[in-house]
Amino acid sequence: DAGVTQSPTHLIKTRGQQVTLRCSPISGHKSVSWYQQVLGQGPQFIFQYYEKEERGRGNFPDRFSARQFPNYSSELNVNALLLGDSALYLCASSLGNEQYFGPGTRLTVT
């Protein structure tokens, strides 16, 4: 069975631009969560979506937004990019409590 997939793998953007990251959950999983991992730290929770509804939001500015589609895939959008947004963005899917992570999208903001 395919695991969680994310696209793109790598991305380079300029300050002030907008970016969209994509995630496809494991088949049958209805919940998707997004995390940001800055170099040298553990991942930080951004959002969780379940059945297209936002169920939780971490301590991130409104420049970060997300949505979930009827097929349970999800997009994370970040507007007005800052240098500090450079990080590995991880998507996780779950059926129950246990979360399974994708390979991540590495975003570099220059």
Rounded least distance, CB 16 to another protein, Å: 26
Rounded least distance, CB 10 to another protein, Å: 11
Amino acid at 76: L
Contact (CB, 8 A) for 9 and 108: no
Q: How many CB atoms lie within 10 A of CB 79?
A: 13
Work out whether strand 105-109 and strand 10-13 pair parallel, antiparallel, or are unpaired: parallel
Rounded least distance, CB 55 to another protein, Å: 4
98 binds another protein, rule: CB under 8 A: yes
25 binds another protein, rule: CB under 8 A: no
64 binds another protein, rule: CB under 8 A: no
Between 91 and 109, CB nearer to another protein: 91
